Structure 1
Amino acid sequence: MTATTNEDAVGCLFEFLHSEIVRYVYSAADDVANDKCISHLEAMGCRVGQSLVEHLAKDGQRFKEDLDVMKFICRDFWTAFYKKQVNNLRTNHQGVFVLQDNKFKLLTKMSTGKQFIEHAPRYLAFSCGLVRGALDGLGVNSIVTAEVVNMPAVKFQIMIQKPNTS
């Protein structure tokens, strides 16, 4: 087996595992609100993101600016987890960043019909937590949300939370 074949197999296994985790969380919570299921999936992703960034940030790598942290997330972190870089990174230079992935791996297997967009948040919650956990592991407190405009394109909005210094 070549390295590419191994990476493809691991990617496929992760996509299947992710799908089964989402299915399990929602099936185990018959009468629980959708928000609790999303919170549970996000918490799982957060823990994974913290662990993964510990391995990726070599020797406790420190960043001077939030933009440097976001570039690390877009290049190194995204590539380690999704095997590609983010397609676009934008910022308003006031603590809000938008990462756009035009072909988000965890949504590519879903149909592109509008009726499936309503189910997308449950498949994005883990990834929102993943990014939030990675940022937390790098010392950046944030709020991460995701929006699907056209399947499988996703925009992740990251709002950096600055500590109160008063």
Structure 2
Amino acid sequence: MSFEAPLPPYNFTDPTATFFSASCIDLLLIELVPLVQRMAESAPTLEFPTPSYARSAPAADSTSPAASPPDSSASQPPAATATATTVETISDEEATREDIYTRLENLGYKVGIGLVERFSRDRSRFTDNLDVIKFLCKDIWHLVFRKQIDNLKTNHRGVYVLTDMTFRPLIRMSAQSGVPAIARAAPFLQFPCGVIRGALSAMGVNAQVTAETPGLPGAVFQITTVNKNPSG
């Protein structure tokens, strides 16, 4: 991992520890969303099929009468045809967005598991979910974003709200205030959601994680745990 100066939970006795420029993680977080968008368009998998807007329609043989389907729009008023086209476009956009969000969250999930497996192996067993959340807010957050969570709230019923007032992936983002900024920031919160969910899973806590930005560059993450106590 990368630090300006080695700090806990860095293990000085770890012979496999490596370092790289601290700016690498910032560049990765910035470029991750465009990368996944390109992957979704050009390299679909069985788990993530090609978005409908990217599928090319088969070419019709204009010389064959059977190749020309009846024009169903001719029997529909123009307003109805336009409405159907708009609904279909919105549906395609939502499916594409969900595909990208799922890819980003899954990537973060794998990273979160790997972080915990490496940096919590020398720690004592966690006694309850609050200890797990505190470890996430202090140690794991510092490893990834070089700072601790600014605020942690809980209702003591399995719901935790983490607030980062200067979330690193959003610091350099420039956008109009209001709804456009929130929509623009949403994809960049999916990878961190996956990191959180993966880290908690590695510590025996199943959870659902959602995120939003009340205003750039802040971010709020809500964790809803499923099981009562960590298993390990």
TM over 0.5: yes
Identity of aligned residues (%): 38
**Aligned-pair CA distance for 1:80:** 1.3
1:47 corresponds to which residue? Answer: 110
CA distance, structure 2, for counterparts of residue 44 and residue 28 of structure 1: 13
Aligned length: 159
1:85 aligns with 2:148: yes
State TM-score, norm by structure 2: 0.64
**Aligned-pair CA distance for 1:112:** 5.1
CA distance, structure 2, for counterparts of residue 61 and residue 22 of structure 1: 36
1:68 aligns with 2:111: no
Is the Cα contact below 8 Å between 2:4 and 2:22 reproduced in 1? no
1:131 aligns with 2:196: yes
The structure number with the bigger radius of gyration is: 2
For 1:3-14, what aligned pairs fall within 5 Å after superposition? 4=4, 10-14=21-25
22-31 or 104-113: bigger deviation: 22-31
Closer, same or farther: CA 60–4 of 1 in aligned 2, 3 Å: closer
Closer, same or farther: CA 5–162 of 1 in aligned 2, 3 Å: closer
State TM-score, norm by structure 1: 0.88
2:35 corresponds to which residue? Answer: 24
Could you give the per-residue CA deviations for residues 37-94 of structure 1, whole angstroms, max 9, x where no partner exists? 0000000000000001111113363211111111111111111111111000000000
Is the Cα contact below 8 Å between 2:211 and 2:221 reproduced in 1? yes
- Structure 1: segments with no counterpart, 5+ residues: none
- Structure 2: segments with no counterpart, 5+ residues: 7-19, 42-49, 52-95
SS at match of 1:58: coil
Q: RCO greater where, 1 or 2, for CA within 8 Å and sep 6 or more?
A: 1
**Which has more strand, going by share of residues?**
1
1:158 aligns with 2:158: no
Amino acid at match of 2:218: A
What's the C-alpha RMSD, in Å, of the aligned pairs? 2.0
Amino acid at match of 1:137: A
95-104 or 109-118: bigger deviation: 109-118
74-83 or 88-97: bigger deviation: 74-83
Is the Cα contact below 8 Å between 2:112 and 2:195 reproduced in 1? yes
**Which has more helix, going by share of residues?**
1
SS at match of 1:100: strand
